[in-house]
Structure 1
Amino acid sequence: MSNQRSKLYLLDEYIALDIETTGYYRDLDVIIEIGAVRIKDGIEQERFNTLISDAGYLPEEITELTGITEEMLSEGIETEKAIREFLSFCADNVLVCHNASFDIGFLTRTAENYSYSFDNDYVCTLRLSRKLYPDFPSHKLKTVSFHLGLSKSPEHRSISDCLVTVELYEQIKKEVKNRGVTLDELFRPAYKQDLREITATTEYDPNNPFNSLNIVFTGTLEKHTRVEGAQLVANLGAKIQNNVNKETDMVIIGFYKPHQNITVSNKVKKAMALNAKGKDIQIIDSDTFYEWLDDYTQRN
């Protein structure tokens, strides 16, 4: 989508957007209806709505879903005129829509087909609702509107669904304000703990294989989170490091998830490179780590 950007905005002025199509695939299907509603301070100011006459074949299931018939489409306008008038209506306003990748994707492809530029910023209420209401059974517009008790329900027609999206977005704005946070704060990645801050919280027998060592973890441990594993060895006198350096004494290797496509991590590679230069960093796997912990526990 080139210059388009999904934004985390709480806006007083925006344009709500919804389209209806002949199917889900932007390479095969086409837009049959475009709806857009200009909003200021939660109140509708103006709307744009058109059916598209040159959609071609209209699947029966789409008629059943939307109520749109071929006869209705024949009274619409051609795609080129529809997209041109829509872009003129939107100008450079920020758009708000539910499941933006669908609407924005179809509109971008259609605009490109006629050599028009469509690069408006947009806000996706699907993205926001997933973050704010993670316990909802799904985040389809109909489900979210039902669980929030909104006054409107989607009807698979562009303008009606725009108005539901407006009500949802206004509710989201209130929810964020009531929580006393910003959207940037809600979407900020979880704090990654600095393992160097972990220190012993219990007394320990110094006669153990981890005492006084500078230790680095890589991969995922079988029985503990990385923080929990770090705390275990810190409680045995180890000093935890985030990364391998010349001070490192031991690297403990967990497993890697298949999607990570990792066989040897960068931390292990660096430890091996340092060892090749004369350093003596122990590199142990998760099984050995737990064996040594068990041995210590049995002795104490």
Structure 2
Amino acid sequence: MDYTVLDLEMTGLAPKRDKVIEIGAVRVRNGEIADTYGTLVRPGMSIPETVVQLTGITDEMAALGKEENVAMQELLQFIGDDILVGHNLIFDYSFLKQWAVNQKIPLELSACDTLRIARALLPGAQSKKLESLCEYFQIEREHAHRALDDAVETYKVFENLKSIEGASMELFVPKPLVYKAKRQTPATEHQKERLRELMEQYGRKDSISWETLTRSEASRLQDKIRAGNF
């Protein structure tokens, strides 16, 4: 089976509120890596310290990344018509789907989830976290929680799961990814103007992706600036 492995790093857990900061994708043909796609993404918001500690990705690093729309469009082109593979993939897919809905881009993909497969094939006491599966299959892990590295490791985990003796092939049949997302409306010019005024008033650095800013994001940022959390 030919497929593309996907891994994303984000500023948090909520697709409607948080943003992608790094994309990693691995194209697999005949069981071997044929190509990769990886990029940092400008999130238009400050990266929480907990995420910085987890990923090592700082605001300064992300500021050198690609604009969100560019990165996401390049990712979709890279995926093409492929089946996706990922670890707890619905989480990553929810961010991709939310972006696609916001951009009025139809997106329907099918996938194999290494988390679901590992739960079915491995002993119950065995941790199913990606890092634990890498240890279980003796896969070297150098840069944890960096998107492209995690995608490569997920590919190796998937291939190892496929090689388990007696594994039912039914587990490796791709299933449609289902995530319902509601379109977020773009911020108004009045909101943007008010946000710029507040940033100047409070001396905040401009790191916002104005082109993709939504109404809810603009309101939330205004509240955060007034509260001193931005």
Map 1:1-300 → 2, pairs under 5 A? 11=1, 13-152=2-141, 155-175=144-164, 178-179=165-166, 181-183=168-170
CA RMSD, Structure 1 to Structure 2 (Å): 1.9
Report 1 or 2 for greater relative contact order, CA contacts < 8 Å, sequence distance ≥ 6.
2
The question of whether the paired residues in 1 share the 8 Å contact of 2:3 and 2:83 is answered with yes
Per-residue deviation, 1:119:
1.3
* Secondary structure of the corresponding residue to residue 167 of structure 1: helix
Matching residue's letter, 2:59: E
Per-residue deviation, 1:137:
3.7
Alpha-carbon separation, structure 1, partners of 2:89 and 2:151? 12
Matching residue's letter, 1:182: M
Per-residue deviation, 1:71:
1.1
Q: Percent identity?
A: 34
The question of whether the paired residues in 1 share the 8 Å contact of 2:4 and 2:79 is answered with yes
Alpha-carbon separation, structure 2, partners of 1:52 and 1:46? 20
Matching residue's letter, 2:9: E
Aligned length: 173
- 2:192 corresponds to which residue? none
* Secondary structure of the corresponding residue to residue 140 of structure 2: coil
Output one character per residue of 1:25-60: Cα deviation in whole Å (capped at 9) or x when no partner. 222211111110101122211111111114312101
Q: Which has the larger radius of gyration?
A: 1
The question of whether the paired residues in 2 share the 8 Å contact of 1:152 and 1:163 is answered with no
Output the TM-score relative to the length of structure 2: 0.70
- 1:261 corresponds to which residue? none
The question of whether the paired residues in 2 share the 8 Å contact of 1:150 and 1:167 is answered with yes
In structure 1, stretches of 5+ residues that fail to align are 1-10, 187-300
Alpha-carbon separation, structure 1, partners of 2:117 and 2:153? 15
* Secondary structure of the corresponding residue to residue 163 of structure 2: helix
Alpha-carbon separation, structure 1, partners of 2:171 and 2:99? 32
Distance 1:110 1:80, change over 3 A: same
Output one character per residue of 1:75-113: Cα deviation in whole Å (capped at 9) or x when no partner. 111111111111111111001000011111111111111
Per-residue deviation, 1:115:
1.6
